[in-house]
Amino acid sequence: MPRFLPRLATCALASLLSTSALAESYTLATPPLLSQIEQKRQYGPLASYLSAATGEDIQHLTSVNYISYWERMRQDRYYDLVLDGAHLVDFRIKKLKHIPIAKVTNVLSYSFVTAPKTQVFDTSELVGKPVAGLPAPSLGAVQLLNLFPNPVRQPLLVQVDNIDQVIERLKNGSVVGAFIPTPMAAIYPELNVVQTTEQMPHIAMTASPRVPEAVIAKIRTALLDAGKSEAGRKMLQSINVEGFEPTDAATYDGFSRLLDGVWGYNKTD
């Protein structure tokens, strides 16, 4: 065997190791509205689609609940890409210097609903009564805090881990009401809609300054063009949205005010 073959094999191995060492991996976080199993089922295809479309390694991270999700977000060490609501989009842009990539088309609102057998004509009737909700800074929780700013005249918040548990408690009558996304309220016509919030921009994806501009550009193109390919359409169906559209910081400016009173809002370290 020629003497140079082992040297070639060594060089090839070194090249492969060097390429592997240089490969970057990016984390994608989504809000824990669902159980971790359901989060992975719904949003895992988004990470897979972006990985295939951009050639980057994008890994989807789930969270047990909003408390851990919020704490990791504030520390700004775990999430490279995040897709969630307007109040947290504005927070990251202002506090963590995130770059907006693209938003889901259309707008979003939340509705306060009551259990099927609960008749409430005004939210003031809910003071002191059990209301289900995910912990702050979930959008439902911050909407509830803004609706009842007086701490001595608030409903009794029964914290749960995901929206499925909210619906379960509403149906079994263990709570009288909850804030849920308005599209979800339409799925359960047996619930009574008491009040609906003003519309706000739909959820958006942002990127940490750690993500190179070239990578952000590829992700933006992949999201905006998702409806043009079968893989993209399957991804959109999985996350239950019509598509993505361009956005900017101005679109979300001011929505972080909903976080006033939430622990850790004014402290990011």
- For 26, 221, 263, the CA distances from 214, given in Å and listed in that order, are 13, 11, 35
| Tens of pLDDT, residue by residue, the chain (269 residues) | 444 444 544 444 444 444 334 458 999 999 999 999 999 999 999 999 999 999 999 999 999 999 999 999 999 999 999 999 999 999 999 999 999 999 999 999 999 999 888 888 777 888 999 999 999 999 989 988 888 888 888 899 899 988 889 999 999 999 999 989 998 888 898 999 988 999 999 999 999 999 999 999 999 999 999 999 999 999 999 999 999 999 999 999 999 999 988 988 876 54
pLDDT at 267: 64
Q: What gap in Å lies between CA 26 and CA 24, rounded to an integer?
A: 7
* Cα 84 versus chain centre, distance: 3
266 token code pair? 């004014």
Give 110-197's CATH code, choosing from 3.20.20.150, 3.40.190.10, 3.40.1160.10, 3.65.10.10. Answer: 3.40.190.10
CATH code 3.40.190.10 region(s) in the chain? 25-106+201-259, 110-197
CATH superfamily of 25-106+201-259: Periplasmic binding protein-like II (3.40.190.10)
177 token code pair? 């009401």
Query: Are the C-beta atoms of 108 and 200 separated by less than 8 Å?
Result: yes
The helix (H) or strand (E) run that includes residue 163 is helix 163-172
Which among 137, 159, 131, 144 has a CA at the least distance from the CA of 84?
137
For CA atoms 73, 97, 144, 40, the dihedral sign is negative
pLDDT at 227: 98
The helix (H) or strand (E) run that includes residue 192 is strand 192-196
Q: 231: buried, middle or exposed (CB in 10 Å: 19+, 13-18, 0-12)?
A: middle
Query: Are the C-beta atoms of 162 and 35 separated by less than 8 Å?
Result: yes
DSSP assigned state of 96: S
Query: Are the C-beta atoms of 87 and 256 separated by less than 8 Å?
Result: yes
